[in-house]
Amino acid sequence: MNGRIITPNSEKILLEEIARIGPEQVAQKIMAPKGIFRIIKLEGINCAAANILKQEMLSRGGEVVVSSQVYRLSAGAQTSALLMGTMAQFRELISKLRMQSLSSLQSVADELVRLLSSAGSPVGTHTRIDGIDFQWNARTYVMGIINVTPDSFSGDGTNGNIEKAVEQGKRFAESGADFLDIGGESTAPGSNPVSAEEEISRVIPVLKKLRQETSIPISIDTSKSEVAKAALAEGAGIINDVWGLKKDDRMKNVISREKAMVILMHNRHASEEVRFENKIGGFYQGADYSDLIGEICNSLRESINLALEAGIESEKILIDPGIGFGKTPEQNLQVLRRLPELKSLGYPILLGTSRKSFIGRILKRHPNERLFGTAASIALGIAGGANIVRVHDVEEMMQVACIADAILV
């Protein structure tokens, strides 16, 4: 019989398998949605809506998990719900919900439509930056890191040497980098903050020279509006804010006014001090989350709303789960395992795992000895839905991204 379990990771693969068997053309379109299974989590569903959802999915052969309070019909009870079913079952459910009078069920239907459509493509499938069109579903893009700092955790900081930083940027561009990301303040666990004036004095000279030497888009890694304003005036096209517009109230307006692109990263203060280990460097040893992925998604939604309310166009928003920021090494691994869930937010995903301490803890190696560990995390991150990878080793990670993309097409 030569039996095997088919595990399609896209509708395209499923359709290929169906067509290979040879059913009627009309039947193929009917069968495909029955073979794609989805598990969707919704939060804050009221008791009445949860019971109707449960009944409707059960009647179609699906399932809905709700809290025990819902079964007891507790007054005012709210629950999270896990809806489990095929695409065909979800489509039938949405049609049924549209006929219900409860406004909460209409909202559920709207959210289901959004989630099911966002699973494959970001809300803005392409973005034009500095005259270059980036097609988020075409391939993975690579961002090269330029640390103009004396205390970079990875050991690649240029320590104020403008020429060294510019040469690094030119080398990255020649190696095929799609973006350059210049940072003037280390954001590694336990690093010391610097003033806006110091940060500007580090990044602007490098930015000016690189603008003359290369045409690829340049991002500035900063959470200070003064630095962002100065950098955008000198030709930067992207602001990479590791606090997701939540640290400096003026940042969102600066970005909106200049019609720049923004990277919104998840971050939070960890609950315990940073721990330092020989070879590994610093990492957070305590960070309390009751629902890690749920809280990351909720925090990123808040950042997205801040951006949209300020007038930043949705096509100019990228999100970053913040590997290494306010998370323990074990939590970083969990984020990578569940990275596909962030696609539900509907925005392109930037992933930064390069040389980070969670890799060092596993391999027991210094930052500059983590090339292969980084490559593994990048490849799996691309498989999980990353659209841009931010790296120290551009030439090598370009190859990783190229092979990962070829496999995933």
User: Tokens in use for 34?
Assistant: 């029955």
Residue 356's closest CA among 270, 284, 272? 284
Q: Is 356 labeled as catalytic in the residue annotation?
A: yes
Q: Which CA distances in Å does 114 have to 84, 122, 190, 216, 376?
A: 16, 11, 39, 33, 31
Question: Three-class SS string for the chain?
Answer: CCCCCCCCCCHHHHHHHHHHHCCCHHHHHHHHHHHCEEEEEEEEEEHHHHHHHHHHHHHCCCEEECCHHHHCCCCCCEEEEEEEEEHHHHHHHHHHHCCCCCHHHHHHHHHHHHHHHHCCCCCCCEEEECCEEEECCCCCEEEEEEECCCCCCCCCCCCCCHHHHHHHHHHHHHCCCCEEEEECCCCCCCCCCCCHHHHHHHHHHHHHHHHHHCCCCEEEECCCHHHHHHHHHCCCCEEEECCCCCCCCCHHHHHHHCCCEEEEECCCCCCCCEEEECCCEEEECCCCCCCHHHHHHHHHHHHHHHHHHCCCCHHHEEEECCCCCCCCHHHHHHHHHCHHHHHHHCCCEEECCCCCHHHHHHHCCCHHHCHHHHHHHHHHHHHCCCCEEEECCHHHHHHHHHHHHHHHC
- Per the residue annotation, which of 229, 252, 355, 356 is the catalytic one? 356
Q: Is 259 labeled as catalytic in the residue annotation?
A: no
- Per the residue annotation, which of 224, 268, 327, 390 is the catalytic one? 390
Residue 136's closest CA among 146, 144, 128, 145? 128
Positions annotated as catalytic residues are 356, 390
